[in-house]
Copies of this chain bind each other. A is one copy, B any other.
Amino acid sequence: MEFNFLSTCQLESREVYKTADSLKHYIKDLAETGEKNSYETPESFINLPFDEQMIRSVLELKEKYVSPKLKYILVIGIGGDSLGTKGIYDALLGNFDIFEKERYPKLIFMDTINSAFREKLMGLLSQIKDPEELLINAISKSGSTMETRDNLDFILENLSYAKDRLICITTASKNNEMWNYFCEKSNVCLKIENKVGGRYSLLSPVGLLPLAGVGINIIDLLEGAMEMRKVCIDSNVENNFAALSSASVYLNYKKDKDIYNLFFFHPELESTGKYCSQLIAESLGKEKDLNGKTVNVGITPITSLGTTDLHSMEQLYLGGPKDKFTSFVFTRELEKEKKVYALLKGVEKTYDKHNMPYSEVVLNKIDARSLGEFIMFKQIETIFLGKLLNINAFDQPAVEEYKKETQKLLNQ
């Protein structure tokens, strides 16, 4: 992965390095977390790619449950329990499922509750002749996810062999409501480390099991993540992509660029963008800072796709308010796509002329290794932004409020 920003982020380099440098204590803490290789802090998601025991347990389950007969893995999970998995799957395979009807196994994501979806899904599953054609992954980190429980109940009620083909993934705590519920419903229950937050759990069994199940090379994915972790815990911030990127975004945010536009020039990466949106939105949108002061900070992420959105959103970006920081994400291979590459570079030149800030993330290609790098980069960039904004990047206190209101309505 390549990261370019210095001549395009509309900031003095001195300023960016100074801000990046202010992260050095936190970077040191991260490096220590990495050395410990355990799960004691929320930041310890950076140790997931190195967790050999966890990886082994995923591969063993794959060995046991995935045969050449497998056609579908049904992922029952919402938010952090499925968005990242979908991000990787769609980038590598899913974006073309409509064209490759007979390519198996496929991932199917059941996240929200929707009658039309259930009806169509059951239409598909009714064609299954052998239970080995289906595997079900029910995932709930928090243990209190209404949609996931409802969907799992629905599947168990409507599919006689579901229990035998069900693997549940949740936090390790035995008192966890979901753990008890899952263990009752299923023969296999896999743990997620309690300290690893939902949106940072992609490289745990949450993402690894379904991705390995459909044949994605999770070792490559993890090796890419390992490599990028090394870059992003480098105390020499001039080489630390996450520190440099978060500093550029933060300093632009301070200049009222409060929208972060992830502009992918490969349509396959749209779902990856949605996962990044969750990372940014849920981690950084906070009412209170670490001192308890009401601040209502937050960066609104948007995902754009090149060249499609040049014919839809670009007029706003160029003509409208100058409230956006853009990250152009593409691969080295895009150069071969001459016209698209010229469009990207034409857009960048226009941004330069208008002093519109952006950076470039250049992946080698769209493969598991590069996606592993990208995911780790975005995760660490996010927690660095949390540090710079002086907020807790790991909680989501505001959502409790609507959940309470919902519960009141359901109890009526």
| B313 pairs with A296, CB closer than 8 A | no
Task: Report the bound CA distance from A95 to B101 in whole Å.
Answer: 15
| B346 pairs with A113, CB closer than 8 A | no
| A79 pairs with B397, CB closer than 8 A | no
| B307 pairs with A112, CB closer than 8 A | yes
- Minimum Cβ distance to chain B for residue A394 (Å): 11
| A285 pairs with B319, CB closer than 8 A | yes
| B300 pairs with A402, CB closer than 8 A | no
| A300 pairs with B282, CB closer than 8 A | no
Asked whether any CB of chain B lies closer than 8 Å to the CB of A292, the reply is no
Residues of B within 8 Å of A117, CB to CB, are 96, 267
- Minimum Cβ distance to chain B for residue A305 (Å): 7
> So how many copies of this chain end up in the complex?
2
Q: Mark A307-332, 1 if CB is under 8 A from B, else 0.
A: 11011111111111111100000000
Least CB separation from A404: chain B residue = B346
Task: Decide if the interface of chain A is mainly helix, strand, loop or mixed.
Answer: helix
Q: Which of B79, B96, B316, B349 contacts A285 (CB 8 A)?
A: B316
- Minimum Cβ distance to chain B for residue A41 (Å): 20
- Please classify how large the interface on chain A is, using the bins under 10, 10 to 19, 20 to 34, 35 or more: 35 or more
Q: Which of B101, B199, B319, B353 contacts A298 (CB 8 A)?
A: B319
Least CB separation from A305: chain B residue = B112
| A399 pairs with B318, CB closer than 8 A | yes
Asked whether any CB of chain B lies closer than 8 Å to the CB of A111, the reply is yes
- B-contacting residues of A (Cβ < 8 Å)? 78-80, 83, 96-101, 106, 108, 111-117, 120-121, 123-124, 145-147, 150, 199, 258-259, 266-268, 274, 277-278, 281-282, 284-287, 296-300, 302, 305-308, 310-324, 336-340, 342-343, 345-347, 349-350, 353, 366, 396-399, 401-410
Could you list 7 further interchain pairs (A-B, Cβ under 8 angstroms) beyond the known A96-B116, A117-B267?
A100-B123, A281-B320, A285-B319, A318-B402, A338-B410, A343-B406, A347-B406
